[in-house]
Structure 1
Amino acid sequence: MIELFSYTLSYYTLALLFLVAFFIGMAKTGVHGISMFSIPLLAVIFGGKASSGLMLPMLIMADLFAVHYYHRHANWGYLVKLFPSAAAGVLIGTWLGNLIDDQLFRLLMGIIIFISLAIMLWMEKANKEQVPDYLWFAILMGTLGGITTMIGNLAGSIMALYLLSMRLPKNEYIGTAAWFFLAINLFKVPFHVFSWHTIDWHSLALNLIGLPFIAFGAWAGIVFVRHIPDKQYRWLVLAMTAVAAVFMVI
């Protein structure tokens, strides 16, 4: 066993923590959905709510890598529509976090994502063009994204489905998602610190030792995505979204 910043970890759990950091780095630079595998791993080690706070600084560090590489590709029109409702969703999620069982919440969101995924698959098969860009749709997805990102950092699939439905090119999709999650994850920090008390100096120090693995994962994600054509990339994101939904239900 190892004593690190008030945490008592085995070599096995420390290795899992580094694997989580690597997955988060890959997810933020394009391999969306893979970070969902990190959620149950951290929850087993640290518990549900505590793991969400521990993961948040790692997500922000990975967001910075993604924004640095893809910052020129963001579509700010979609971001402006998403930010206000996503911020409201974070407030709702903070309130719900003290009332709703995490497992039940993941089950409900998994069902919603399966339904959304079925719609996306139908659109792909039917060769539909861009869906109508209604403001109510952006508000709905932004609110759901804000709630799910606060409870368990589960908004990746919601945002993947929304941005894919807008038919964004690969790099524009990644850049838009990168800026969205950097902004919303920074917005979440005070609520984790002062309301849920899931982030402190000890957890931040533990996050920092995972930084090299986040950086390696970010590099691996960039290299991986660079060699995937847009059409195959869309199907990769859909597949990872489906697997992530299964993990939430389980």
Structure 2
Amino acid sequence: MPELTLLAWALLAISAVLVGISKTALPGANTISIAIFAALLPARESTGALLLLLIVADMFAIWAYRKHADWTVLRRLVPTVLAGLLLGAGFLAVADDAGVRRVIGVILLLVIGITLWRRWAAHRSTRGGTTVAPTTTGAPTSSSEASTPTRGARRAQAAIYGTLGGFTTMVANAAGPVMSMYFLASRFSMKTFLGTAAWFFAVVNLVKLPFSIGLGLITGPTLLMDLALVPAVVIGALAGRWLVARMNQVLFERLVVVLTIGGAVYLLL
């Protein structure tokens, strides 16, 4: 078991709760967990430790939303996600701990930048008189964004988001916000969004498991630590299932943005 202070264990437990909530209520909310794990543990080992907790939470997400996945979209993502996973595994094989830490910080900042840009664009469309509709994360989407994309556009989106999602999930378990943007662009209802995300990450995380073991990211001490944190994941997953129809997602997302930026800047410095 890693030697950690009481405060560190408390922060890890909070992170584990957020992992559960992110799978059953707020996709992408676990960016805070990524930052905390990478700050408290060696950056490379943090990805392996978090992966095991994500797999536990995936099982709860599938149980809750197993009937709502869009399998057409999932099949479209398979080739590009696999390519991204291989790129990420290659990077982890050659990068040192400091390099991985910096990449995690940069990835988080990029993801937050994309999120803020989309909100600004939606706000500008609203001020310009464009009709907006709520999305599954509480941020508005303009009617122009809601138009049906062409087949070529769908393939391009799958290639870009799939590759980036595969790379970020392998390197930093940070594909949640990236794939959330893709699922929002696919105009999913809330349950279809959560169901598609549940199956996507369950499969991807299981595929990542042998890579993580082979790279030495998952060890005996990691397993012991995760066993201690599993109850917190379960609490978070059940709380997310209860909160999904009741939580003020806009306020929570703003807190996620602020805390994730702080965590990413800390990792970079």
Pairwise TM-score range, normalised by the shorter structure? 0.7 to 0.9
Q: 2:86, 2:167 within 8 Å by CA — same for their partners in 1?
A: yes
TM-score by length of 2: 0.80
The equivalent residue for 1:246 is 261
What does 1:106-125 align with in structure 2 at a 5 Å threshold? Answer: 106-109=104-107, 110-111=109-110, 114-115=113-114, 117-119=116-118, 121-122=120-121, 124=140
Q: Which of residues 218, 230, 245 in structure 2 aligns to 1:211? A: 230
Q: Distance in 1 between matches of 2:182 and 2:18?
A: 22
- Measured against aligned partners, the alpha-carbon deviations of 1:142-185 in whole angstroms (never above 9, x if no partner) come to 11000000111111110011101111000110110011001001
Q: Which of residues 176, 186, 190 in structure 2 aligns to 1:170? A: 190
CA drift of 1:120 comes to: 6.1
CA drift of 1:117 comes to: 4.8
CA drift of 1:31 comes to: 1.6
Q: 60-69 or 239-248, which moves further after superposition?
A: 239-248
CA drift of 1:114 comes to: 1.7
Q: Which runs of no fewer than 5 residues in structure 1 stay unpaired? A: none
Q: Which of residues 88, 95, 100 in structure 2 aligns to 1:99? A: 95
- Measured against aligned partners, the alpha-carbon deviations of 1:111-155 in whole angstroms (never above 9, x if no partner) come to 365246524653546422145152121121011000000111111
Q: Which runs of no fewer than 5 residues in structure 2 stay unpaired? A: 123-139
Q: Distance in 2 between matches of 1:210 and 1:171?
A: 27
The equivalent residue for 1:199 is 218
CA drift of 1:96 comes to: 1.4
CA drift of 1:201 comes to: 3.1
The equivalent residue for 1:53 is 48
Matched residue SS, 2:3: strand
CA drift of 1:66 comes to: 0.4
RMSD: 2.4
Matched residue SS, 2:27: coil
Q: 1:145, 1:155 within 8 Å by CA — same for their partners in 2?
A: yes
CA drift of 1:86 comes to: 0.9
Matched residue SS, 1:13: helix
Q: Distance in 1 between matches of 2:170 and 2:241?
A: 26
Q: 202-211 or 170-179, which moves further after superposition?
A: 202-211
User: Does the C-alpha gap of structure 1 residues 113 and 11 become closer, same or farther in structure 2, counting only changes over 3 Å?
Assistant: closer
Q: How many residues align?
A: 240
Of all paired residues, the percent bearing the same amino acid is 31
Letter aligned with residue 40 of structure 2: I
User: Does the C-alpha gap of structure 1 residues 117 and 165 become closer, same or farther in structure 2, counting only changes over 3 Å?
Assistant: farther
Q: Distance in 2 between matches of 1:187 and 1:167?
A: 27
Q: Distance in 2 between matches of 1:104 and 1:46?
A: 14
CA drift of 1:242 comes to: 4.3
Q: 15-24 or 91-100, which moves further after superposition?
A: 91-100
Q: 1:13, 1:45 within 8 Å by CA — same for their partners in 2?
A: yes
The equivalent residue for 2:38 is 43
Q: 2:15, 2:30 within 8 Å by CA — same for their partners in 1?
A: yes
